Amino acid sequence: MKKAIANKEIDVNEEGYLLDFSQWNKEVGESLAEENGISMTDKHWEVIAYLQEKHHKEEALSIRGIKKSGVINIKEFYALFPGGPLKKSTLIAGIPKPKSCI
Amino acid sequence: MSETKVKKMLFILSKGTLENAYAAFVMANGARMEGIEAELFFTFFGLEAIQKKKLEHLHVATVGNPAMHMPTMLGGLPGVEALATKMMKKEMEKLDMPPVSEFLEILSDSGCKLWGCKLAIDMFHLEREDLIDELDGILTIGDFYNRANEDGTHLLFI
C-alpha cells in the first residue's frame, strides 16, 4: 500500500514498514519516528546507520547483536526506542522488521 | 499493526532443565522486544538457573521425555544426558541463542525483573551471594502476585 510520509508517496506493508529502501531518506525516518513518539537525536541516527549497514550486509538483527555492536548497549537501546526497540528502530530505518524470536 | 492486549507477563520457572529455562527466557525476552513488561520468578529447581555455580550446567532431560525419541533405559545411561545437552547447545548457538549467563544479563538490561523465591531459597539453604548479581530481589509468592498490578497481566508457570 501507499502512504504519504514527509510529503512523499512511499510503499509500505500493512505494518507500516517500507518495502523499498531506496525511497528512504532522513526526513522519512524523522517523520516515522515522530509518528511513534520518538524525537531523533545523534545517538538515534547512529543506531539507525548501524541497523541499515547490518541489513545491507544481509546480517540478521537480534538483541544479542545489539549487545555486541559496540554502538549502543541494551539499556540505552530500550531507552531510545521505548515500546519494542528493534521493532521501532527498524521501522524508522526503513528496513524490514526482524523475523527472529530472539 | 494490531495491538496486543497483553501488557505484562509474569513467568514462574520451577524446573531446572535447559529446555524449560530457555522457554522462559525466550518468552520473557520476546515480551520485552514487543514492548510488553516481563518478570521472572525462580522457584524450586528453577533456582538452578540463577545460581552462579550451576547456571552453565543445566541439562536437557533425556529420561521421561517421550519427545526425545530415545528409549528411557538408554536415556539413563551415563553420559547420554550430557551428550544430548551438548548437541542441543550447539544447535542453539547456530541460531545465535546466548548461553544462560549472557541471556540473564540481556534480560536484566532489557528491563525484565528477576526474582528469587524466598521459600525455595530457604529450603535449599542458599545465600544471596550464591545467586547472580542481576537478581532484583527475593520475594514471597504473595509479593510476586502483587507484581500483577495492571490490566492485561498474565502469569505463566513453567
A&B contacts, CB < 8 Å: 47
Q: ipTM of this predicted complex?
A: 0.89
- Locate the chain A residue with the closest alpha carbon to B22: A102
Q: Could you tell me the three cell numbers for B65?
A: 521425555
Q: Are B154 and B9 in contact (CB under 8 A)?
A: yes
Q: Which residues pair with B31 in a beta bridge?
A: none
CA dist B98 and B65 (Å) reads 24
Q: Do A85 and B33 touch (CB under 8 A)?
A: yes
What pLDDT was estimated at residue A102?
78
Report pTM. Answer: 0.91
Per the domain annotation, does B1 fall within a domain? no
Q: Do A65 and B96 touch (CB under 8 A)?
A: yes
Q: In A, which residues are within 8 Å of B111 by CB distance?
A: 75, 78
What average pLDDT does range B44-49 have in this prediction? 97
Domain enclosing residue A12, as ranges: 2-93
Per the domain annotation, does A98 fall within a domain? no
Count up the domains in chain A and report the number: 1
Q: What are the tens digits of pLDDT across the range A36-53?
A: 999 999 999 999 999 999
What pLDDT was estimated at residue B2?
64
Q: What element of type H or E holds A2?
A: strand A2-5
Domain enclosing residue B93, as ranges: 8-157
Q: Are A80 and A70 in contact (CB under 8 A)?
A: no
Q: Do B30 and A102 touch (CB under 8 A)?
A: yes
Q: Do B1 and A16 touch (CB under 8 A)?
A: yes
Q: In B, which residues are within 8 Å of A16 by CB distance?
A: 1
Per the domain annotation, does B110 fall within a domain? yes
What pLDDT was estimated at residue B63?
85
Q: Do A101 and B30 touch (CB under 8 A)?
A: yes
Per the domain annotation, does A51 fall within a domain? yes
Q: In A, which residues are within 8 Å of B95 by CB distance?
A: 102
Share of chain B above pLDDT 90, in %: 78
Q: Could you tell me the three cell numbers for B82?
A: 550430557
Per the domain annotation, does A100 fall within a domain? no
CA dist B64 and B48 (Å) reads 20
CA dist B7 and B154 (Å) reads 8
Per the domain annotation, does B60 fall within a domain? yes
Per the domain annotation, does B59 fall within a domain? yes
Q: pLDDT band at B74, cuts 50/70/90?
A: confident
Residue corresponding to grid cell 513467568: B11
Cα–Cα distances (Å) from B2 to A76, A95, B29, B72, in that order, read 26, 20, 20, 45
For the cut 60, the answer to whether the pLDDT of residue B1 exceeds it is no
What pLDDT was estimated at residue A101?
77
What average pLDDT does range B18-47 have in this prediction? 96
Beta-sheet strands, E only, within chain B: 8-13, 37-42, 113-117, 137-139, 153-157
What pLDDT was estimated at residue B146?
96
Count up the domains in chain B and report the number: 1
CA B50, B31, B120: angle at the middle one, nearest 5?
30
Q: What are the tens digits of pLDDT across the range B121-158?
A: 999 999 999 999 999 999 999 999 999 999 999 999 99
Q: In B, which residues are within 8 Å of A83 by CB distance?
A: 35
Q: Are B99 and B90 in contact (CB under 8 A)?
A: no
Which site among A74, A77, A87, A90 would you substitute to test the B interface, given the most B Cβ atoms closer than 10 Å to its Cβ? A74
Per the domain annotation, does A38 fall within a domain? yes
What pLDDT was estimated at residue B94?
87
Per the domain annotation, does B125 fall within a domain? yes
CATH of the domain at B98: 3.40.1260.10
Per the domain annotation, does A34 fall within a domain? yes
What pLDDT was estimated at residue B67?
85
Supply the mean pLDDT for chain B: 93
Per the domain annotation, does A99 fall within a domain? no
Q: Do A15 and B1 touch (CB under 8 A)?
A: yes
Q: Is A101 a catalytic residue?
A: yes
Ranges of chain A whose pLDDT falls below 50:
none
Least CB–CB distance from A87: residue in B34, B98, B109: B34
Q: Residue A33: CB partners within 8 Å, gap ≥ 6?
A: A39, A40, A44, A92
